[in-house]
Amino acid sequence: MLELSSAILLIIAAFGTSIISATVGMAGGTVLLSVMLLFLTPQFALPIHAANQLISNFRRCWLLRTNIHWQFFYRFCFGAIIGNIASTWLLQTALDLKHGTIFIAAIILYSVFKPKKLPSFVPKENGFMLVGLLIGFAGMFIGATGLILGTCFIRDDMDKEHILATQGAMQTFNHLGKILGFLWLGFNYIPWILPLGAMMLASFFGTTYGVSLVRKIPDHIFRICFRGILVLSALSIIYKWIKDIAY
């Protein structure tokens, strides 16, 4: 179990990273997972992270619920169910995806910097079934999938509220699926009720504050920050991948 000092740090991290996710739509979950891995092994960090992010993303999409693009969401859910079931089954075989993160970084950088003549990762309605399949599958292994999903929202046909609401709804569904998967694999959440409950409460208030900030951010500033967070996250992934190979 966690020491009190470690639990307090994770609660503070949950509050701060939920503000990031609420205002930009991603990266907060990735940062939180990175902090959690300083104190917990992946077998504990991933299930607890999924439960905390369920609250964070649900609060965001609830506050912005009138902006959810439901046709995108329904199709995403269909694919995510299949992906989550497949990854839960494969997880028992200890599938090694440690080099898969470099492909995530490549997708992000391509989406942000690609020339206009090249194809983009901007799915239409039916394309979100494939997105859901990928996110649902990857979520059980890498935990934070908001960066992958974020590449699908570098688009001009949605404003910031629609992006944050729709992405939040998709992430809520995906984290719910992950929790069910971890329960099926035998993870016991009961011993973690107190620290996890405190983290969830911190994420609830952090998200509420973050969404209040969104309405004050000009749309063009939001898009710059959105792309900037993706690029910084991709560079961070590449650095960690190189470091892991070198050592």
- pLDDT per residue rounded down to tens, the chain (247 residues): 677 888 888 899 899 888 888 887 666 777 787 788 778 887 788 889 889 999 999 999 999 999 999 999 999 999 999 988 887 777 665 544 454 555 566 666 665 666 665 555 678 888 889 888 888 887 776 656 777 787 788 777 888 889 889 989 999 998 998 898 889 888 899 999 999 999 999 999 999 998 888 878 777 777 777 777 777 777 776 777 677 776 6
Cβ pair 121, 111 in contact under 8 A: yes
Cα dihedral: 200, 86, 239, 111 (round 10): -90
pTM reported for the whole predicted model:
0.77
* Cα(94)–Cα(224) distance, integer angstroms: 38
Residue 144's SS3 state is coil
* Cα(111)–Cα(120) distance, integer angstroms: 6
Nearest one of 13, 59, 39 to 198, comparing CA atoms: 13
Nearest one of 161, 145, 133 to 63, comparing CA atoms: 161
Cα end-to-end span (Å), the chain: 29
